[in-house]
Amino acid sequence: MKIIVDGMGGDKGYKEIVKGCIDASKELGVNLLIVGEQEKIEEELNKYVYSKDTIDIINASQIIKNEDEPALAIRRKKDSSMVIGLKALAEDKGDGFISAGSTGALLAGGLFIVKRIKGIERAALTTVYPTINGLSLLIDAGANVDCKPEYLKQFAIMGSIYFEKVLEKKAPKVGLVNVGTEEGKGNTLVKESYDLIKELNLNFIGNIEARDIPKGIIDVIVCDGFIGNILLKLTEGMAISLFTALKEELTQSFKSKIGATMLKSQLSSFKGRMDYREYGGAPLLGLEKPVFKAHGSSDALAIKNAIRQVVNFNKKDVINVIKNDININK
């Protein structure tokens, strides 16, 4: 299996991406194709000891930046690491593509270059959501801010398939984000989506309020990308704030520092459960081939785990399962 990696995307630069690729090649036994400025990537690769035949490079002279207009950047920056990487995927030069670069550009490039699965209305950004009861899955996390009921219906199907195949839980519970749990509540989009989803052969438990999401009572959290992105960023902000406040409390006095020392392993374990680096990347479900968005701040650990996720995604044959289920549920 060969995974294509955008070597120039992300806030931490190509050095962390290269290290993540080397770690993945050693631990996962996977071949990699890094796309980016060849001279810089080669210079960084030469700092490590690894099997030289496991990592290749495709040169790219341009970088798509977060401030670039996504669709325009995909059309104009044809020699960018993202565009060349997506084209390589479309041409079957690899089995998946990962980028920590611009989310908007990756979505636009995925749609224009890789293309959607026939019958899928919109591709959805899908990310794991840590809860007190394990992991849930949030779909859509920001790819589609304006949605139709049919989109949310397909998000529910794709999210359920991904959770069952990759997170290995039979009949995952699917919930629709709403302002109340009663059927008939919410705006027009949610009410019409509810009617479509309840007719599917899914373990649909109905509406769920935002305050219940962190409890982990559902597995697949379905919403439009506007709501999903707000949920995700609010959760990230709350987690950072809580850890900051907790650190301040635990370092205020000698007594609290002793308590912190005694709780160090438990606190580290809890922090790990909330660490995006452990979960790798978020797939754009609905595309013809695996395209994954890694966090913009991804370090080597996050890149390695994103590669692991793409490998698992391929082994579970998620895309072909989605194709079959979409045809059944037309």
Give yes or no for residue 245 having a pLDDT over 80: no
Taking residues 155-177, what's their average pLDDT? 93
Tell me the two tokens of residue 186. Answer: 């919410």
Taking residues 101-111, what's their average pLDDT? 92
Residue 51's contacts (CB-CB under 8 Å, 6 or more residues apart) are 25, 26
Distances (CA, A) of 216 to 164, 168, 240, 315: 16, 16, 20, 27
The mean pLDDT value of the chain amounts to: 89
124-278 has the same fold as 1-120+286-330: yes
**Per-residue confidence (pLDDT) for residue 54, from 0 to 100:** 94
Per-residue model confidence as pLDDT tens digits over 12-67: 889 999 999 999 999 998 999 999 999 999 999 999 988 889 999 999 999 999 89
CATH class of 1-120+286-330: alpha beta
Q: DSSP secondary structure string, 28-74?
A: H--EEEEEE-HHHHHHHHTTS---GGGEEEEE--B---TTS-HHHHH
Give yes or no for residue 85 having a pLDDT over 90: yes
More confident residue, 72 or 263: 72
Cβ contacts of 66-73, under 8 Å, gap ≥ 24: 66/101, 66/102, 66/296, 68/102, 68/105, 70/102, 70/104, 70/105, 70/107, 70/108, 71/108, 71/112, 73/102, 73/105, 73/108
Give yes or no for residue 8 having a pLDDT over 90: yes
Give the separation between CA 98 and CA 281, rounded to whole angstroms: 8
**Per-residue confidence (pLDDT) for residue 324, from 0 to 100:** 85
Angle at 174 between CA 170 and CA 176, to 5 degrees: 175
Secondary structure string (H, E, C) spanning 216-274? CCCCEEECCHHHHHHHHHHHHHHHHHHHHHHHHHHCCCHHHHHHHHHCHHHHHHHHHHC
Q: Which CATH number fits domain 124-278: 3.40.640.10, 3.40.50.20, 3.40.718.10, 1.50.10.100?
A: 3.40.718.10
Taking residues 204-230, what's their average pLDDT? 94
Q: Residue 252 — very low, low, confident or very high, per pLDDT cuts 50/70/90?
A: confident
Taking residues 116-130, what's their average pLDDT? 92
Distances (CA, A) of 51 to 20, 40, 57, 168: 14, 19, 14, 32
Per-residue model confidence as pLDDT tens digits over 136-153: 999 999 899 999 999 999
Q: Residue 266 — very low, low, confident or very high, per pLDDT cuts 50/70/90?
A: low
Taking residues 233-245, what's their average pLDDT? 78
Per-residue model confidence as pLDDT tens digits over 267-302: 555 555 555 555 568 899 999 999 999 988 888 999
Give yes or no for residue 254 having a pLDDT over 70: no
Q: Residue 265 — very low, low, confident or very high, per pLDDT cuts 50/70/90?
A: low
**Per-residue confidence (pLDDT) for residue 94, from 0 to 100:** 96
Burial-class residue 213 by CB neighbours within 10 Å (0-12, 13-18, 19+): buried
Q: For the chain, how are helix, strand and coil distributed in percent, rounded to 5?
A: 50, 20, 30
More confident residue, 236 or 258: 236
Burial call 48-83: b when 16+ CB within 10 Å, e when fewer: eeeeeebbebbebebbbeeebebeebbeebeebbbb
Q: Residue 182 — very low, low, confident or very high, per pLDDT cuts 50/70/90?
A: very high
In this prediction the pTM is 0.87
The domain locations on the chain are 1-120+286-330, 124-278
What percent of the chain has a predicted confidence (pLDDT) above 70?
89
Neighbours of 118 (CB within 10 A): 9
Taking residues 154-165, what's their average pLDDT? 94
**Distance between alpha carbon 263 and the CA centroid of its chain, in Å?**
31
Give yes or no for residue 260 having a pLDDT over 60: no
Residue 302's contacts (CB-CB under 8 Å, 6 or more residues apart) are 20, 100, 276, 277, 280, 281, 294, 295
